[in-house]
Amino acid sequence: MALINILKISTVYSRVSLTFRFNVYIPKDLNDALRALKVEGEGLLPIAGGTDLLVLYRQGLVKFNKLLDLWPLRNSLSYVRFEGGYVKIGALTTVSELLDSRIYMDKRFLGFKDACSGFASPFIRSIATVGGNVGAAHPLSDIAILLLAYDANVKLASLDGERLVPLREFFIDKRKTLRKPDELIVELSFKEPPTNSSTSLIKLDRRVGHSMGYVIVSTYLELIDDIVKDVRIVFDSMGKPYPERAYKTEEYLRGKTLSEDVVKEASESILPNEMRRITDYRSSAEYRVELSKVLLKRALFKTKERILGGA
Ligand SMILES: Cc1cc2nc3c(=O)[nH]c(=O)nc-3n(C[C@H](O)[C@H](O)[C@H](O)COP(=O)(O)OP(=O)(O)OC[C@H]3O[C@@H](n4cnc5c(N)ncnc54)[C@H](O)[C@@H]3O)c2cc1C
């Protein structure tokens, strides 16, 4: 397979105009892209907006010399659709497009407003894609965290066909997923939630726009007369280096009335028992746990308010 183009790509985040040389394969369509991946295997790395990959490259954390440019696939893989009881989001949909879709005008999807409007800066939002956010397999991935709260599935395509993988099983380590080298993420989808449900996402950080949160939490709630019919709680990390559900805390909340006392018990007693946090240069583990407790309370009540009609 001939690599047809050699481009100079300047990194989007650098003040100094740095340029790197890569071989870039520009596919005609999805099939062409999948054929290139089949032939080149691990040697060919997909790139969408490049807002994650090029940063890693510049830091020397990822090495490559052949890229598969997914941008030409945007005409077929950039969409937000309601189909057959499912919400379907094309992998090449940018964060701006997700926001522009105004999906959050329906209270069941208000979490998208939180995740997209708090995401980086307008420029990054205009090129960062949903598929890239999931493909990055990074703990502080806002869209992936929200999609986990919706219990979304990842659709992977290769020349051999398509398969659906639950997002909750997709991440296997830091920056490692179940995606095989000849597969592309083509769509994220989840079941349309009921009308008595909503979501929220809260990210806490020192700065807005150019750095990622210390702690991110997203909650999905389904209430019947204040009783928790269903709940999903997702943190940037519960102990593993990727976004995860707080399953035990969810289990505690299910079937209970969402009162101050119940939420206090869930966030202050149950959550810290199942959560393991790390200390790094940005924050101590203790601080992260304290923050997680506070943010969980806020997220649960914010989601409840939304179900009742608040924004
Ligand atoms: C200044 C700055 C601020 C940022 N702020 C935030 C923030 O607030 N919140 C946040 O969540 N992230 C943030 N990020 C990280 C980044 O923008 C996101 O992870 C973004 O969604 C990545 O999407 P992309 O299209 O740029 O992915 P890329 O960088 O192109 O790719 C990321 C990874 O996914 C793989 N990949 C991409 N698309 C596919 C596909 N369709 N199929 C298979 N593999 C694929 C690539 O091979 C690569 O490994 C920030 C980055 C920068 C530089």
Q: Say if CB 275 and CB 235 are below 8 A apart.
A: yes
Whether residue 184 has its Cβ less than 6 Å from ligand 1: yes
Write the residue with the smallest CA distance to atom 2 of ligand 1. 210
Ligand 1 centre distance from Cα of residue 52 (Å): 4
- Distant-in-sequence contacts of 80-88, Cβ < 8 A, 24+ apart: 82/192, 85/191, 85/192, 86/189, 86/190, 86/191, 86/192, 87/150, 87/189, 87/190, 87/191, 87/192, 88/187, 88/188, 88/189
Ligand 1 centre distance from Cα of residue 57 (Å): 13
Whether residue 37 has its Cβ less than 6 Å from ligand 1: no
Ligand 1 centre distance from Cα of residue 77 (Å): 16
Residues of the chain within CATH 3.30.390.50 domain(s) are 204-307
- What's the rounded Cα separation, in Å, for the pair 306 and 272? 26
- Residue of 133, 165, 203 to test ligand 1 pocket, by largest number of atoms within 8 Å of CB: 133
Ligand 1 centre distance from Cα of residue 51 (Å): 5
Residues of the chain within CATH 3.30.465.10 domain(s) are 74-191
- What's the rounded Cα separation, in Å, for the pair 46 and 269? 43
In the prediction, which pLDDT does 205 show? 77
In the prediction, which pLDDT does 210 show? 58
Domain 74-191 has CATH 3.30.465.10: yes
Q: What is the largest CA-CA distance in the chain?
A: 64
The secondary structure element, H or E, covering residue 199 is strand 197-204
Ligand 1 centre distance from Cα of residue 93 (Å): 12
Q: Give the right CATH number for 5-72 from 3.10.450.50, 3.30.365.10, 3.30.43.10, 3.30.70.260.
A: 3.30.43.10
In the prediction, which pLDDT does 281 show? 82
Ligand 1 centre distance from Cα of residue 13 (Å): 13
In the prediction, which pLDDT does 310 show? 75
Check residue 75 and report its DSSP letter. H
In the prediction, which pLDDT does 282 show? 82
Residues of the chain within CATH 3.30.43.10 domain(s) are 5-72
Distance of CA 147 to the CA centre of its chain: 6
Atom of ligand 1 at shortest range from CA of 12: 53
Write the residue with the smallest CA distance to atom 10 of ligand 1. 141
Kindly give the residue spans of alpha helices, DSSP state H, lying in the chain.
Answer: 30-40, 53-58, 74-77, 95-100, 111-117, 122-127, 130-135, 142-149, 167-170, 247-253, 260-265, 271-274, 285-307
Atom of ligand 1 at shortest range from CA of 77: 41
Q: Give the right CATH number for 204-307 from 3.30.910.20, 3.40.50.10490, 3.40.50.620, 3.30.390.50.
A: 3.30.390.50
In the prediction, which pLDDT does 41 show? 86
In the prediction, which pLDDT does 11 show? 38
Query: Which of 190, 196, 215, 195 is CA-nearest to residue 205?
Result: 215
Atom of ligand 1 at shortest range from CA of 141: 11
Whether residue 13 has its Cβ less than 6 Å from ligand 1: yes
In the prediction, which pLDDT does 260 show? 97
Atom of ligand 1 at shortest range from CA of 45: 47
Mean pLDDT per block of 10 residues along the chain (311 residues) reads 40 44 90 96 94 93 92 97 98 98 97 95 96 96 98 98 98 96 98 98 77 86 97 97 97 98 98 94 91 97 94 70
Whether residue 67 has its Cβ less than 6 Å from ligand 1: no
